[in-house]
Chain A
Amino acid sequence: MSDMNYKARVNAFVDAVEGRPTEHIPVYLMMDGLYAVHATGGNIKKATYNPQIVIDSTRELVSRVYCDGLGNIFTKGAIFYKRMRSNNFIPSEVGFLQHPETYTLSNEELTELAEDPFKTIAEKVFLRSMGEIYKPFPQNMYSLMIANIGNTAYLNGLISNKFALSAELGVPMVYTNLTKAPLDYLGSSVRGLANIFTDIRRTLDRVIAACDALCPLLEAAGELNFRAPDRNFPFIFFPTLIPHFLNVKQFERVYYPTFKRMLDNLADKGFKFVIQFEGNWERFYDIIRSLPENKILGVFEMGSPALVKEKLGDMMCLSGLYPVSLLGCGEKGKCLDKAKEIVDVMAPGGRYVFATDKQLINARDARIENIQAVHAFVHDYQ
């Protein structure tokens, strides 16, 4: 594919986000690097130790499937987590790195987090996620150095080759870094999903104070980890976790203020975002209309295409809602019927990028022949 194709595709994503018409509907292949490995018959475990396998598998998959943009060509290398006996990311028997329900701070320690957030993260959250750190000094220090040397080698191999591959394929990466909203950060490795809801019910002020304190750190993570010369593209990726489980009052009180503050501040600095609105956000549509306009590619997992189009279609670029389960189990005809049904509602007037409702991770998530058929249909759709 030519350099012009690459630039045209970048322009198509930027145009869609900024509300300008695009010649074709941009097609976004939203997958983890390990999906490409698994779907093309590669060994997942080997791929988490050898980044070249991720690169070669992505090349093979994209040569077979039409797409205008990829997610980050990335997966976590396993050596760091294995070597440090991580309880945060644990390799499964086949090699997928799984994030189990875990926590590193007690509810009382949220106060410490609010008072000195980075010190608490560096000395408690980070260290407590690694079993190896409890070995006596200096064995623990040498383990960390070995793990970091291995991790750096893996990431350097992946990062240097992924940009070359993206250019070679003529397919841009829609995002290359990420950050999180403060409450999503707390609900992952800090307090865990189960604990955070108890915290919200019993010690709401403590949770809000921790979110406020985390906001500048998470904003800096998004900004400092952005390495591209132009802040207009690629976008910063925001996965979301907690809102699906919140009611409107909780969302307004504890999640939205710091989520919006981060997005406003980063938007003011020229960044754009791809936000994965996980779960069902329909009850929050009227609230999130106050997020930065023409800055967001919103990938929705659940809900009505017509409702999201009506409520948000004039202020953000819509995407998602195509059920990945259909690509995994459905007949080609049914996959195409569903694509037409969604595109007929979402695409008119622009501000639309085609994508699945969830990221592809496992080969069973989607059959390649179904992706081929659906992506070709959407690309040719007028």
Chain B
Amino acid sequence: MIPTNYFESWEEYKDNNQAYEGEDEIIGPVWDDLNKEMFLFILLNTF
């Protein structure tokens, strides 16, 4: 959705860090939604 891989996605985090069972559903969407918000925050603050 975001046309950049600048921020570490949840999937990338899991490659190098421990994730517990069930966290994909709980943390994954929150993690990636925050990346979207940060993308918007930076872009809109450069308008």
On A, residues with C-beta under 8 Å from B are: 80, 88, 104, 117-119, 121-122, 125-126, 129, 178, 180, 185, 188-190, 216-218, 220-221, 224-225
Whether A126 and B40, one on each chain, are in contact in the complex, defined by CB atoms closer than 8 angstroms, is no
> Closest CB-CB distance, B7 to chain A, in whole Å?
9
> Closest CB-CB distance, A11 to chain B, in whole Å?
30
Whether A225 and B6, one on each chain, are in contact in the complex, defined by CB atoms closer than 8 angstroms, is no
A118 neighbours in B (Cβ, 8 Å):
3-4, 6, 39, 42
Q: Contacts A118-B6, A118-B39, A224-B36: A129 and B1 contacting too (C-beta < 8 A)?
A: no
B44 neighbours in A (Cβ, 8 Å):
221, 225
What 7 pairs between A and B have smallest CB-CB spacing? A118-B4, A216-B3, A125-B46, A221-B43, A126-B42, A118-B6, A189-B46
The answer, among A122, A180, A218, A224, for a CB contact under 8 Å with B42, is A122
Q: DSSP class of A's interface residues: helix, strand, loop or mixed?
A: helix
Kindly report which residue of chain B lies nearest to residue A190, judged by CB atoms: B46
Q: Contacts A88-B46, A180-B47, A190-B46: A122 and B6 contacting too (C-beta < 8 A)?
A: yes
Question: Does chain A have a CB within 8 A of B45?
Answer: yes
Whether A224 and B46, one on each chain, are in contact in the complex, defined by CB atoms closer than 8 angstroms, is no
A220 neighbours in B (Cβ, 8 Å):
1-3, 39
Q: Contacts A217-B3, A220-B2, A220-B3: A121 and B47 contacting too (C-beta < 8 A)?
A: no
Bound-state CA distance A190–B47 (Å) is 9
Bound-state CA distance A185–B45 (Å) is 11
Total count of chain B residues near the partner, CB < 8 A = 14
A88 neighbours in B (Cβ, 8 Å):
45-46
B45 neighbours in A (Cβ, 8 Å):
80, 88, 126, 129
B1 neighbours in A (Cβ, 8 Å):
220, 224
Bound-state CA distance A88–B45 (Å) is 9
A180 neighbours in B (Cβ, 8 Å):
47
Whether B6 and A119, one on each chain, are in contact in the complex, defined by CB atoms closer than 8 angstroms, is yes
Kindly report which residue of chain B lies nearest to residue A152, judged by CB atoms: B41
A125 neighbours in B (Cβ, 8 Å):
46
Bound-state CA distance A204–B2 (Å) is 28
Bound-state CA distance A122–B46 (Å) is 9
7 new A-B contacts, CB < 8 A, other than A117-B4, A220-B39, A221-B40, are A88-B45, A119-B4, A121-B46, A126-B45, A126-B46, A180-B47, A188-B47
Report 25 cross-chain contacts, Cβ distance below 8 Å, ordered by A residue: A80-B45, A88-B45, A88-B46, A118-B6, A118-B39, A121-B42, A121-B46, A122-B6, A122-B42, A126-B42, A129-B45, A129-B46, A178-B47, A180-B47, A185-B46, A189-B47, A190-B46, A217-B43, A218-B43, A220-B39, A221-B43, A224-B1, A224-B39, A224-B40, A225-B44
Bound-state CA distance A104–B36 (Å) is 23
